[in-house]
Amino acid sequence: MKVSRRDLLLGTAGLTAGIFFTPVPWKVLDDVSIWTQNWAWIPQPPRGPVTTKLAACTLCPSGCSLRVRMAGGFPVGVSGSPAHPLTKGALCPLGFAAHQLNWHPARLQEVRHQGRAASWEEARSAFEKACAEGPIAIVDGRSGRAASIVLQSFAAKHKASYDALRNAEEKSLAPYAKWANVSVSSLGYDLENVRTIVSFGAPLLDGWGVPGRFTHLWAERAAGESDPQLRLIQIEPKLSRTASGAWRWIPICQGSEELLAASLASVLIEEHLVPAQGPVPPASVTDAASQTGLTPAAIRELARAIVDRKPVLCISDGESPAIAALNLLLGAVGTPGGILPKSGHPLPMPPASANDKPLRAVLIDSTVPWEYVAPEGAEAFRFAAWDGGGSRAEWLLPAPGFLEELSDLPSPPTCAVATYAVAPNLLSTSAQTKTAAEFLLQIDPTLPAIDQTIRARCEEIFRARRGTVHAAKPASIASFESAAKLEQALRDGGVWLDDPPAHSPLKCSLREWPGNSGNRAPANWATTWAQPVLPPLAAKLYQESSLRETPQRSQS
Amino acid sequence: MSARYGMVIDLDRCTGCGACMVACAAENNVPPLPARATDRTGLTPMLVHKVNNGLEGAGRREAFIPIACMHCANETPCVSVCPQQAVEVDKATGIVMQIPQRCLGCRYCMTACPYHARYFNWWDPSWPPGMEKTLNPGVATRMRGVVEKCNLCHARLHTAMEKAAAAGKKEIEMTDYIPACVEACPTNAIQFGDLANPDDPASQAAHSPETFRLLARLGTEPKIYYKSRQPWVRALAERSASGHATEGQHV
Amino acid sequence: MNRHVLAFAIGLVFALVAGWVVFPRVLYSHQQQPVDFPHKTHAAKSGNADCDGCHPFNSDGSFAGIPKNDTCAACHTDKLGTSPAEAKLVDDYLKTGTTTPWLVYSRQPANVWFSHAVHVKRAGLACADCHGALGTSDEKRLYEQDRISGYSRDIWGHSISRLRRAPHDGRTMSDCEDCHHKRHIEVGCFGCHQ
C-alpha cells in the first residue's frame, strides 16, 4: 500500500509523542545546560594539591618574607610571613598580586637589539667589544646583594666604574653619611623608640620603608588616639593618606620644606628649646611664613610641639640636608629613637666609584628603576624582566622574574638593626633569562659566585655570634651548630635579625647650615615600586575603583 | 558547627592602602578587567571607599571605609529577591553564600543590596596567556553575566575543615581560617572571628560601645562591624537621608 | 487496525527504540585509559591491600587522588614484567616524565568541593562505600564520556533513566543530596560548592 502524507504526519506525531517518554529531551536539556557552563574560553583554575613554600620578594629592597602557595609548579597565591621580624606578615598592596607578574604581557622573553630579536652571544660580544674600546659603567639599583659583589668586582677588575643608585629613603640618610664619613647603607632610623616623628612629605603610612614596620607601630601606638604614644606630624602640601592618619597635618606650599626646617631650627635655638649646638640657620620666621603659607605663630607653635615629647625624629622625602641639620639640632643623630648606625654591620658593602670621562657603554642591572636614563652616547645594556616601554637602551636583556632568581637580601635601607635573608628561586626560569651578575660571571668566571658569597656571609654572621634567626620560631644564633646549618635555615625562609645596636655615637661635623637641595618629584604609591609594570590586579585600585589615582611614572 | 563569622573593622587604623582589595581579588580569581572598565563596572568584592569630613583647607580629614558583603543576618535582602535561589544564608556559618553558576544575571540582588556590595561580570574573565595557571584552585571561575560578591573566603574555610577532619577534630582552628583581606591588612585593622562565640576577640570587639554598623536602622543585621573614635566618622556612618547625623540610634 | 493508528504507533515505537536503545549508545563516546591498569593485581603484588597505599591523604588533609608518576615509579622504575600495558607506562610516561593522562571517572565541575577527609575521616565512610569493590577487580573499564556535557558517564549513572540503579551509580548533586538526607547531615551550598 502507498504511504500517504497523512501517514507521515501521523508517524511524526507518534515520534514526537514518543520522544517525551524517552530520556532524550530531559537528558539533552540537562546536558546542554551543563555544556553552557563549560565554555572552552573560560579559564579554569588548576587542580591538585596546594603546597606552601617560604620565599622572599625581591621586587624592592624591603625583602618581605612570603608564603607562596604552589599547585602544579605554579604559584597560586601569596601572603606575608608573620615570622618576619619587621613586616610581621605585611606586604605592599602590589605584593599580593605579584605571583601573576611573570605572565604579564610586557614580560621580556628574548634578547632585543634596537628593537629586533638578537641572541645572548651577540650581546656578549657587543659588551666585550665595548669593554675593550672605552670606559664602561655598571649601574646597580640595589647595592649590597651577593649579585652586587659580582658587579662591583667586575668593575674593579676591568677598570669600569660601579654606580650604586640610592632610592628616596636611602637618599634621606645621605647627609648624615656624608657628615659622619660613613656609608649610607650602614645607617637606619630607630622608629621603634621614637615618640614624635616629623615627616616632611615622606609617605610613612603609604609605601615608605619596609611594609608593615611603621604601619604596625602606628596602628598600635597612634591610630585613633587623640593623645597618642607616637605622635606623627606630617608636613606636606596635600592631604595624603599619611597626613590623614597623622596626629597633626601641617599643610605648606610645595617646595618650602627646607625653608620651614631652617626656620624651625632658628625658633628652637631662639627660644632655647634645644641646647644650642651647630650652625645657626640663616632663616627668619617671617621668611618662612611667607613661603610656606603658615603664620609665624603657627611655626613657633610647631617648633614647641616638636620638642614636647622626645625622642623626636625628622624624616624627609629624599635627600634634604636642611632637614638632616634640623635632626642634628634636635639631638636625633646617633641616639635611640633617631638615626643610628646598624650594629657591627658584618656585610661588606661594595664601594661606589665614579668616572669622569664620557662612557662607551653602561650595563644596567634589573634592579635599576625603569626611569633611569643612560648617559648620552653610551651603549646601554639594560637587564629587565619586563619591558616598560619607551626604553632607549640599545640592548634589552631578559632577566629572571618574580621568584625566579636566587638572591640574598641585605638590610633594607631604613632599618636600624641589620637583617639578612636569602630569597630562593621557587620557579625555574627559562634558559633565555640571565641576571646581570650571571652575564658577567660567564665573561669572567673568576668573579665570586652568588652561592659562594652567600656562604661567606653566613659564616661571618655565624662567627659574630649575634642576633636571632626568625623562622617558625625565633632561634638565637647560639643554637646553630654550624654556619652550614645557619645557611640552610636562611635558605628555608628564615630571617636573621641582629641584636639592637649598642648606641655607638654618630659624630656628624657640620660647619654651616646647608643650602637647599632643589625640587623633588612628589611621591606616589607606585614610586617605591621599581618595576616598570604593575601587576594586572593593581587595576582594582585605580581603574576599577576610585581609591587611588593612576600612578604617574616619569617618562624617560 | 554553628558559627556566625563576622568582622570588626577599625576605621581609625585603615590607611586606604588597598592591600585588602588586591589580596581579595587574587584569592577569589577575580580577573583584571579590560581597559574600558571603570569604577562603575569594576569587579571589586572588597572595595575601599574614601570619605572626608566635608571641610576644606587645613581642617580637612579623610577616612577610608572597606566595604564588602555584610553577610546580613536578618531578612537578607539579596536572598529574598533572588529568583534562582542562588543565594542562601548558611545555617552553620552565617555566611551569605552565592553560587554564581546558578545565577541568571537578572541583577535584582544588586538593586536590593543596600551596601552596593555586589558586582556584575560584564565581561568574560580573561587573563594574559599563561596567567590562568596562577589561579587559586579553591575558587571556581565565573563567566560573564553573573553576579558575584564576597564569600568570606570560604575556600580557606574548606581548607580549615579538611585539616580539622584529617586531624580528627570536629571544630576548625580559627588560626587556619583567615580571610585574605584580614591577612593582608598592614595595620591589622580587620578583626575576623566567630561573633557567636563569647570568647572570640572579634565577638567581644563587636559588642563594645565604640562599634557601629552601617545602615543599622534598616534592620538587616549585618555581621560586619566598624569602629572609630573619630566623631565625624561615626556621624557620617549613621547619617540619615536628610544629611544629619542621627545620634542615639545605635542598634 | 485503523491505518492511522498504525502510522502513529510506528512513529511512537520508533521514538521509543531510538530514545531508549540508540540514544544511550550514541550519546557516550568510548575511550581507553592510556594504560590498562589492574587494581587487584597491584593490591596483591604491592602488599598494599588498602587503597591508601597509592591513594593517601596528604599531611594537610587534602586527598592525593589519582597517583602521580612518582608513585608508579617507586616500583616501576624499569619494567617488572612483560605486559604491554606496563611497557607503555614505563616507556611513554615514566621515562619521558610526561604525566600519565588518566581519564577520571568521577571528575566533578570546578565549582564542586568534595572533601575526602571529611567523608572518610569524619563521617567514617569506607572507600568501597562510594567507589565499589574496585580493589578486588582487574576489570579494564572503558571511560565513557557524554559528548554534550563532557563529563564521565559515572556522573549521571549508567542507567539512562536513573531508574533501577545499581547502588552508588551516579554522582550528580541529587545523588550527594540523597545520601546526606538519609544520614540527616545538612550542609549549606558552600558545604559542597566553591
CA distances from C68 to C35, C57, C71, C74, C151 (A): 13, 13, 6, 11, 22
Chain B residues close to A211, C-beta within 8 Å? 186
Domains, chain B, in order of start with CATH, read: 5-237 (3.30.70.20)
DSSP 8-class letter at C193: B
Region A113-136: what's the mean pLDDT?
Answer: 95
- CA A403, CA A429: separation in Å to the nearest integer? 9
3-state secondary structure of A314: strand
Question: Which band of pLDDT confidence, cut at 50, 70 and 90, is reported for residue B250?
Answer: very low
For chain A, the average pLDDT equals 90
Q: What is the pTM of this model?
A: 0.94
- CA A140, CA A154: separation in Å to the nearest integer? 12
Which of A159-173, A177-191, B23-37, B224-238 reaches the highest mean pLDDT? B23-37
Q: Which of B17, B50, B190, B47 is nearest to A242 (CA)?
A: B17
Write down the ipTM of this complex. 0.93
- Above 90 in pLDDT, residue C136? no
Chain B residues close to C191, C-beta within 8 Å? 90, 92
Domain boundaries of chain A, sorted by first residue: 112-165+351-494, 169-345+505-526
Q: Any idea of the CA torsion for A163, A164, A169, A172, to the nearest 10 degrees?
A: -60
Q: How far is CA A17 from the centre of its chain?
A: 72
Q: Is A500 exposed, middle or buried (0-12, 13-18, 19+ CB in 10 A)?
A: middle
Q: Which of A166, A157, A185, A151 is nearest to A362 (CA)?
A: A151
| Peptide bond just before A311 cis, omega within 30 deg | yes
CA of A17: which chain C residue's CA is closest?
C12
Q: Which of C3, C14, C149 sits opposite A31 (nearest CB)?
A: C149
For B223-245, write each residue's pLDDT tens digit.
Answer: 999 999 999 998 888 765 555 55
Chain C residues close to B155, C-beta within 8 Å? 194
What is the CB-side half-sphere exposure of residue B70 using CA atoms within 13 A? 27
- CA A373, CA A358: separation in Å to the nearest integer? 15
Subunits in contact with chain B (3 or more CB pairs closer than 8 Å) = A, C
Apex B38 CA angle, B32 and B44, nearest 5: 50
- Above 80 in pLDDT, residue A367? yes
- Above 70 in pLDDT, residue A295? yes
CA distances from A469 to A335, A419, A422, A477 (A): 26, 9, 12, 7
Cell numbers placing A4: 500517504
Chain C residues close to A10, C-beta within 8 Å? 4, 7-8, 11
- Above 60 in pLDDT, residue B248? no
- CA A29, CA A19: separation in Å to the nearest integer? 13
For C35-63, write each residue's pLDDT tens digit.
Answer: 988 888 888 887 777 888 889 888 888 89
CA of B161: which chain C residue's CA is closest?
C118
Question: Which band of pLDDT confidence, cut at 50, 70 and 90, is reported for residue C161?
Answer: confident
At residue C21, the pLDDT reads 93
For A78-88, write each residue's pLDDT tens digit.
Answer: 999 999 999 99
CA distances from C165 to A53, B81, C157, C169, C170 (A): 46, 38, 8, 6, 8
- CA A139, CA A363: separation in Å to the nearest integer? 6
- CA C147, CA C161: separation in Å to the nearest integer? 17
Q: Is C7 exposed, middle or buried (0-12, 13-18, 19+ CB in 10 A)?
A: buried
- CA A523, CA C191: separation in Å to the nearest integer? 47
Q: How far is CA A498 from the centre of its chain?
A: 21
- Relative to beta strand B211-212, strand A231-235 is unpaired
Q: Taking a C-beta distance cutoff of 8 angstroms, is the pair B52, A124 a contact? A: no
Apex A94 CA angle, A422 and B233, nearest 5: 125
- CA A80, CA A548: separation in Å to the nearest integer? 23
Domain boundaries of chain C, sorted by first residue: 3-33+103-191
At residue A522, the pLDDT reads 60
Q: Is B56 exposed, middle or buried (0-12, 13-18, 19+ CB in 10 A)?
A: exposed
Q: Which of B35, B57, B143 sits opposite A39 (nearest CB)?
A: B143
3-state secondary structure of A14: helix
Q: Which of B30, B63, B137 sits opposite A45 (nearest CB)?
A: B137
Subunits in contact with chain A (3 or more CB pairs closer than 8 Å) = B, C
Per-residue 3-state assignment (H helix, E strand, C coil) for B193-217 = EECCCCCCHHHHHHCCCCEECCCHH
Q: How far is B81 from chain A (nearest CA, A)?
A: 23
At residue B247, the pLDDT reads 45
Residues facing B184 on adjacent strands = none
For C114-132, write each residue's pLDDT tens digit.
Answer: 999 999 998 899 988 888 8
What is the CB-side half-sphere exposure of residue C53 using CA atoms within 13 A? 15
CATH of domain A169-345+505-526: 3.40.228.10
- Above 60 in pLDDT, residue B58? yes
3-state secondary structure of A68: strand
Q: Tell me the residue type at A328.
A: L
Chain A, residues 1-60, CB within 8 A of chain C, namely 6-8, 10-19, 21-24, 27-28, 30-32, 34-35, 37-38, 44-45, 47-50
- CA B149, CA B79: separation in Å to the nearest integer? 13
